[in-house]
Structure 1
Amino acid sequence: MGKVVLDNKFWLMVLAPIVGAFFAPEVHSMQESLWHVLKVAFYSFLLFYVYYFLLGFLKFPRFVRGAQNLC
């Protein structure tokens, strides 16, 4: 089974969309803003966690490091 190692790049990729969600122009009220940020946080964590999980199945360390830098 794949081994998931969450490094600083992972957390940067998760936190960048969350910070950007605070400045979304389609959000008008504080309650809407909080809900929007929570959705962005959930989906960005889910997307990048699955990406890192699938990279854990690869056997080529150089390719894995390159794929982590690519995303």
Structure 2
Amino acid sequence: MKIVFDPDIPAQAHESLTEVIQESVPGKCACGCDEIYVSLQAPDRIDVKCYDCGTSFCELEVEVAQEVVEH
């Protein structure tokens, strides 16, 4: 299964998200595609869908760490 991440999703999150997606998505989509597109729907929600037809497999809630910048 190939997983394509939206550019808005930080690269440091790819590995942990890949593990969760592989556990959550049973295999190919009903359309036969085995590519998954992962996009950011909201600051704390990620949509996991078929790359070809757009069928959503699941939505994942993520914890967003706030970065504090001192001036």
Structure possessing the higher relative contact order (Cα contacts under 8 Å, 6 or more residues apart): 1
| TM-score relative to the length of structure 2 | 0.30
Larger Rg: 1
| TM-score relative to the length of structure 1 | 0.30
Greater strand percent: which structure? Answer: 2
Greater helix percent: which structure? Answer: 1
